[in-house]
Structure 1
Amino acid sequence: MLGASMQQQLETYLANLREPIELIGTLGDDENSRKTRALLEEIAALHDMISASFDGNASHSPSFKIRRASDHNAAVTFAGLPMGHEFTSLVLALLWAGGHPPKVEQDILDQISALDGDHAFEMYFSLSCQNCPDVVQALTLMAIFNPRISATLIEGGAFQDEVESRQVMAVPAIFKDREPFANGRMDVADIIGKLDSGANARNAKKLSDKKPFEVLVVGGGPAGAAAAIYTVRKGFSTGIAAERFGGQLTDTMGIENWISTPYTEGPKLTAQMEQHVGEYPVDVMTRVSAEKLIPASKPGGLHEIKLATGASLKARSIILSTGARWRQLGVPGEERYRNKGVAYCPHCDGPLYKGKRVAVIGGGNSGVEAAIDLANIVGHVTLIEFDNALRADQVLQDKVASFANVEIITSAQTTEITGDGDTVSGLTYKDRETGDTRTIELDGVFVQIGLVPNTEWLAGSGIELSPHGEIVIDDHAATNVPGIFAAGDVTTVPYKQIIIAAGEGAKAGLSAFDYLIRTEPAEENAATESAD
């Protein structure tokens, strides 16, 4: 199961084990069970603190439990093989069960230990889902550090019948006590917040108690990371406030135009950026959503960002890098069947549609790439484009045309996504050339029609926006408000590319530096700082 290099890598990690762990397999006679046995035997052979047995009686087969030998409640169960994006999750589960301390704040571990009640989690993931590892690792951490929490982590592709019976049509999908709990990317603090409402209030107070920053970056994507590195290297106190570090970069798979690196993937590049930022004293605050911007009343004064939690952060200079999100169709049925057949991430959710009929809406690069990826998994793909021709690069058009199970429909306006009340059953579109209305029977719809800048929260702030909702900036990344800069996909800069966003972030950081050294702090700054 494990290649030589992967075995060597795993053996190096396992040297950090502090106490024995047990692997208990529940297996059948199928091929996946044979692979699971082989994986557990290979892992056990790498360290004398690991034992493997195959007498488990778990509800899923194949599955295996990882548990601490001295404390059987410190355990987590994997159903299916946690390979692909989940191999790191497997390694961490082994280390944490074996007593190696996790790299999380002690405050988080204390909150996990303090959670009251019994909580039985099940979580569905796919091996190609870049959003799933955060959830898998969060639930693993909680199951190992709180004896009243259990977690079964299920690879959906290995349990297709179960996925269909529970109507899991998007991952990551979390169930608690057999009932739906949450969908989408979450980390351990998000899950704790849903279980313990007081945790959110405590975290909000901690944020509000922070001293004003000299530079506050709002958004944690490539633009935000670059801006923070450039300002902190100039000696300014710098904070990053973001819903998640990496932003939309973490949802990107193959990246072949990041100069000096022929190929990488979004999650890997995100991790590298996060590590780079971590080399400096940047205060990274994640799981926070900006709700309102209140500019300073005078040059050199403090700008204020109000957060959805009720907390607020202040800074002499602000860099807005809140990025963009997938554009929605805005047609009947889209919102109703979101995560029930309507999806926006083909890499995450594609494996759940193995052998089925799906549509991809959008004929640009993203849409055509999605169709190519899905064609290798699903039974049939219908690619629908509003214009009279695909807009993707010719190399992508040639590739998608080579698949026998892909049908391309142009000049088509999607008018409705239909369903049976529970899941998607089809799609209706209007032929823009003839005016005829046609319906396609489908099991899923993947929407890939571009991006929308995340700027709604800036309404009433005085920040100038373009007709498309982008932040208007000059050639120094400055907005129309002194001391407030912007960078990346959220701005009017053309060409929404990762490398351009990073460059614009660097520019914004340098511009903020220039602003700060040329602008005397207003009296309100001194008053605030002396009060702190």
Structure 2
Amino acid sequence: MLDANMKQQLGTYLQNIVSPIAITVSSNGNAKSEELVELAREITELNQAKISLSVTENPQGRAPQMSVGPKDSQARVHFAGIPMGHEFTSLVLALLQAGGHPSKAAPELLQQIKDLDTELNFEVYISLSCHNCPDVVQAVNLMATLNPKVTATMIDGGLFPQEVEDRKVMGVPAVFLNGEHFGQGRMTLDEILNKVDTGAEAKQAAALAEKEAYDVLVVGGGPAGAAAAIYAARKGIRTGVVAERFGGQVSDTMAIENFISVKATDGPKLVAGLEQHVLDYDVDLMKTQKAVRVEKKDLIEVELENGAVLKSKTIVLATGARWREMNVPGEQEYKNKGVAYCPHCDGPLFKGKKTAVIGGGNSGIEAAIDLAGLVEHVTVLEFSDTLRADDVLVKKAKSLPNVTIITEAQTTEVLGNEEHVTGLQYTDRKTGESQTLELAGIFVQIGLVPNSEFLKDTIELTERGEVVIDSHGRTSMEGVFAAGDVTNVPYKQIIISMGAGATAALGAFDHLIRN
């Protein structure tokens, strides 16, 4: 299972186990069970002094399944499937935390977990190619490790298709709590705790309202926001960052190969580095907080969704953008029931089925190429008469036997049977005729929408909703600067957003010293 390099690295990590742990594997004798048993044995051999292994053959319940916990205690962290791919890190962290190695989560979050007084049984359906799933798995695993009233089970949907069908899981990560659907998509530990801890929001609002005014308050935690925070903090001024989701769209990006000096990386890894770099400075980072209003008074006020108001001498708006939706009948009804926006995450759930990709830009054609290796057939629908993707991608897509490209196609409706997608309708713009495609999944890849609705009638926006800025990042409101994908910069790229964030922070600092 593990090559020599992985064994060496894992063996080094496992030396950090403080207290003995036990691994239990439930096997039903099939090939996947044997793989999981072999993985467990290899792990055990790397630290036999602190890790013990037992195997239960022909168990009742899910199999294959690996359970991890302190020795002589009931295990509360489970992996139904083989936790490799993106989930290997989740397994390593579970082993370390079960053995007493401390988590790097904020102390207040760790205490909040320990204070939970409700029975919580989390089940997280994942695919091993999903780069958003580990965040959720690791969050609930930590909760289960620290609180005896919490259990957490990762479930590989590809190995348990009947469960996926019975629970109508059509997008990952899909989280169930005590048997009921709890959440869909990437969620942070903070977000999960806020949902299960009923008094958390009020406590947070009260604490936020008591904060002193900032010199620079950055609204948004993507590449632009992180760069702005770092450049502001390096000036020695009071800096805060308030973000609904630290990392933003980058967290959903799988392959990044155009970040200068870094040959290749991925979104989650880059986001982790951004957060650590921000926290290396004296920056007040406030996550899972959404801004709903900006108003200039004596100071500039930012009102949050929970009612708290933060004040600052200057503001840098870096709220980024989100996936553009088709805005056709059936799209909202069948979100996560066949309508998806992340082919890397949800593609494996449509193995052997017919799918469509909406959009003929780079992201759409890349999605079609990725899906072609998994699904029965991919139909790409492009509104224009030509594809906007790079020629090399178009040639690759056209070379694949199970990819069909249709141009001048306007999607008009998502079809379904009330439980999941069954097809879509589109209009042939050349003939005006309506056409129907039978399929199980629709992946929407038609660009981005700026997260600027809360700024309407307050700050000058373009017709597309982008914040208008000048060469210094200044907006139409004095003391308010902006950067990144929420603005009218012509190119939406990570490296451009970072540069724009630095520019906005320097512009804010210049404003402070001149006023």
Per the TM superposition, whether the score is higher than 0.5 is: yes
CA distance in 2, matches of 1:254, 1:248: 13
CA RMSD of aligned residues (A): 1.2
Matches within 5 A, 1:162-177: 162-177=163-178
Listed as ranges, the gaps of 5+ residues in structure 1 are 520-532
How far 1:434 sits from its partner (Å)?
A: 0.5
Tell me the equivalent position of 1:198: 199
Tell me the equivalent position of 2:301: 304
Q: 1:315 aligns with which of 306, 312, 322?
A: 312
Equivalent position SS for 1:55:
strand
CA distance in 2, matches of 1:27, 1:336: 39
CA distance in 2, matches of 1:371, 1:66: 38
Q: TM-score, normalised by structure 1?
A: 0.95
Q: 2:368 aligns with which of 360, 368, 371?
A: 371
Matches within 5 A, 1:321-340: 321-340=318-337
Matches within 5 A, 1:99-138: 99-138=100-139
Tell me the equivalent position of 2:240: 239
CA distance in 2, matches of 1:3, 1:225: 36
How far 1:143 sits from its partner (Å)?
A: 1.0
CA distance in 1, matches of 2:344, 2:361: 17
Tell me the equivalent position of 1:516: 512
CA distance in 1, matches of 2:414, 2:66: 39
CA distance in 2, matches of 1:3, 1:516: 55
CA distance in 1, matches of 2:73, 2:154: 20
How far 1:140 sits from its partner (Å)?
A: 0.2
**Is residue 190–residue 287 contact of structure 2 (8 Å, CA) maintained in 1?**
no
How far 1:119 sits from its partner (Å)?
A: 1.8
Matches within 5 A, 1:20-419: 20-47=20-47, 48-55=49-56, 57=59, 59-72=61-74, 75-295=76-296, 297=297, 301-419=298-416
Could you tell me which amino acid in structure 1 is paired with residue 23 of structure 2?
Answer: L
How far 1:87 sits from its partner (Å)?
A: 1.4
How far 1:110 sits from its partner (Å)?
A: 2.1
Tell me the equivalent position of 1:488: 484
Q: Do residues 2 (structure 1) and 2 (structure 2) align? A: yes
Deviations 1:511-530 (A, max 9, x none): 111111111xxxxxxxxxxx
Deviations 1:93-150 (A, max 9, x none): 0111111111122222222222223222111111121211111011101111111111
How far 1:482 sits from its partner (Å)?
A: 1.4
Could you tell me which amino acid in structure 1 is paired with residue 84 of structure 2?
Answer: M
CA distance in 2, matches of 1:64, 1:136: 14
Q: Do residues 467 (structure 1) and 463 (structure 2) align? A: yes
C-alpha change, 1:43 and 1:518, in structure 2 (3 Å) is: same
Tell me the equivalent position of 1:523: none
Deviations 1:375-405 (A, max 9, x none): 1111111111011121101111011111111
CA distance in 2, matches of 1:20, 1:513: 52
Deviations 1:295-336 (A, max 9, x none): 2x3xxx411111111112111110000000000000000000
Equivalent position SS for 1:120:
strand
Equivalent position SS for 1:363:
coil
Tell me the equivalent position of 2:428: 431
Equivalent position SS for 2:314:
strand
CA distance in 2, matches of 1:59, 1:312: 49
How far 1:272 sits from its partner (Å)?
A: 1.4
Tell me the equivalent position of 1:499: 495
How far 1:239 sits from its partner (Å)?
A: 0.9
**Is residue 23–residue 69 contact of structure 2 (8 Å, CA) maintained in 1?**
yes
Equivalent position SS for 1:206:
helix
Could you tell me which amino acid in structure 2 is paired with residue 292 of structure 1?
Answer: R
Query: Bigger shift: 410-419 or 6-15?
Result: 6-15
Could you tell me which amino acid in structure 1 is paired with residue 100 of structure 2?
Answer: G
CA distance in 2, matches of 1:272, 1:7: 25
Could you tell me which amino acid in structure 1 is paired with residue 176 of structure 2?
Answer: F
How far 1:58 sits from its partner (Å)?
A: 5.7
Could you tell me which amino acid in structure 2 is paired with residue 129 of structure 1?
Answer: C
CA distance in 2, matches of 1:272, 1:204: 28
CA distance in 2, matches of 1:468, 1:336: 25
CA distance in 1, matches of 2:438, 2:376: 13
Instruction: State how many pairs are aligned.
Output: 513
Equivalent position SS for 2:268:
helix
Q: 1:442 aligns with which of 413, 427, 439?
A: 439
CA distance in 2, matches of 1:94, 1:11: 12
Equivalent position SS for 1:193:
helix
**% same residue:** 57
Deviations 1:338-395 (A, max 9, x none): 0111001111111111111110000001111111111111111111101112110111
Could you tell me which amino acid in structure 2 is paired with residue 72 of structure 1?
Answer: Q
Query: Bigger shift: 301-310 or 440-449?
Result: 301-310
CA distance in 2, matches of 1:140, 1:58: 23
How far 1:49 sits from its partner (Å)?
A: 0.3
